[in-house]
Structure 1
């Protein structure tokens, strides 16, 4: 008997408040502009629906028009796939301040690995937009309503993502769905822009069935707010709130140890334990990565003197704990054998803190989820 069709996440993007004091990229707003964003699908289905947010907006947000299509190259789309997106049957919608909205079902069959182009027309002054700061993918901004245009030759190319938090796909398969929940080592900082070489993309190549969606936020901490709501605070929304989630994969710790203040090892261990307990209470298995090396970080103002020994202490606990269903030793896989607090030179993106494409692959190949990975 065929399984009943259901909506599950085919793409996710975790956004941050543009008003935060500490930012990696300058935020921006829009007025009388089309924003066309490239979204790389982890999974496919018979139809899709789109999630947009005005979560951090101080005023209502007007979406004047929206279209979605298969992306051809750059800002160009495959014209015959371009479909108008509606919200409660309407082509225009207002999202209240602090609110979220889900589109009507869109008749566009899609497959895993497809790049979609979502075009939003923002007719009124938006104020600063909630955004993913460094998603390793482009968006294109053009004046006026060009949501139905096949290309935007005069558009400005930008490297952040705005307003969109996810795409769900309708499928009749009982698909396992992993939520990769964490920081920049999931979001993809250091990997080649636009190439889909993030560690989560490589993990998807290795899965025997199902897929993983990416809920990484660059600079995100497990314990305290600084860049994005901290992991324990956003867990219900960004993990349990993802439709179809069956497994949880966690990568946190570097930012708790290297950004403002250094979390004591005992506090990080307590945070990881709470995260595991909350996941198990929801009936889901949860897996964690050890904390990667960062002693070679080159960014001014970041000190590793306290964080490095704390990392080693927490990793010692992670390697022996049974609070997770399994722990994958990413740190061991990417560290320099002669200087284990540093990333191996051939895996370093060049900043001493993030992985290049080869490093992201080494990270993903360390992850071995029972029955799902090759």
Structure 2
């Protein structure tokens, strides 16, 4: 139970970002010029005020934002009449985000709640260059020519584009009572939500939040999943050990971290997409990396919860699954389930969605169709596999 009602800035939404200058082109790469972007944020938690984080971390040019507005979203690209307000940085409505930097907006007063859907509109008068972006947000965004910051909807606008990627937005914070538990889902596509239905909030972290709210929890989960991300080596985004500080330890209010990594270290993607794949790591190497993650989380005073590596034997992706890699995943999962793991707890995601007749593959009822990612029902099974008592603090686990 929260005992200190003093409000403090607390993460209420996160969207892990990557560079458009990655050497492997798995996702749509975009630049914008003379356009307005309208992108949707669904809050995982609420508070008495809100601020937005905008990122030009991987940009090669300064990001000039000629204006920004925040409004309550109705449906599609529509916004609630009279709800839009200017988003300012340092008091200015026209501002620039320097190369490699992130800015935090001025506070917008007014209560917001978990589940609120907000539309953030950005007027981009100049060429942005390739954007800092989130690859699989599973939330449709919109772009139209010209300055359309306060347009009630973009529907039917000439030149309207629908976007499967999210650009320049890395998070939102709320003023919430100090000590509000925040769980960071720090992992790969199994957390980001690949395979679940877009625009429905059926990702594993979303459904875990539903369980927490139904149980009366004061805390919530924010999603820092990154599709194609690895534990040990860079591929899409910096590897987990390199991005841990930014995407987990520095998240305002973080108390717990859920970890899922290993699939993309073990997978050997086809030569066309990955011209120079890293070798399959040994179980010892993955265990060393997971142990290093746990040690750093504990050094920061956080509860560390690891999840088993998901089954993937029958994936359709050429060359991704090998007998060698599947055997390593089994060995790592045995370690996660055993007494030698340094984590405070584990969630057996692999067992939750595995085919009982062949535990190395995803059960047909939970398979998104690619043999690597779960569908909506699978994401619900993952959320149901988490023991909610493990999200209440290390003192409870060690009692």
TM-score bracket for the superposition, by shorter chain length: over 0.9
127-136 or 211-220, which moves further after superposition? 127-136
- Within 5 Å, which residues of 2 pair with 1:1-374? 3-153=5-155, 154=157, 155-172=160-177, 174-207=179-212, 208-259=217-268, 260=277, 261-320=279-338, 321-370=340-389, 372=391
**TM-score computed with the length of structure 1 as normaliser:** 0.97
Number of equivalenced pairs: 373
Q: For residues 118 and 221 of structure 1, what CA distance do their matches in structure 2 show?
A: 30
More moved, 282-291 vs 23-32: 23-32
Q: Per the alignment, in what secondary structure is the counterpart of residue 238 of structure 2?
A: coil
RMSD between superposed Cα atoms in Å: 1.3
Secondary structure, counterpart of 1:312 in structure 2: helix
Structure 1, unaligned stretches of length 5 or more?
Answer: none
Shift of 1:75: 0.4
Would you say the 8 A contact 1:61–1:97 is kept in 2? yes
CA deviations over 1:134-158 (Å, ceiling 9, x no partner): 1111110111111111111222111
Matched residues in 1 for 2:292 and 2:4: separation?
A: 38
8 Å CA contact 2:4, 2:179 repeated in 1: no
Q: How does the TM-score come out when normalised to structure 2?
A: 0.91
Deviation at 1:132, TM superposition (A): 0.9
Residues in 2 aligned to 1:226 and 1:280: alpha-carbon distance in whole angstroms? 26
C-alpha change, 1:28 and 1:112, in structure 2 (3 Å) is: same
Alpha-carbon offset, residue 79 of structure 1: 2.1
- Deviation of 1:114 after TM superposition, in Å, equals 1.1
Tell me whether 268-277 or 23-32 shows the greater mean CA deviation: 23-32
Structure 1 residue 264: Cα displacement: 1.5
CA displacement at 1:133 relative to structure 2: 0.8
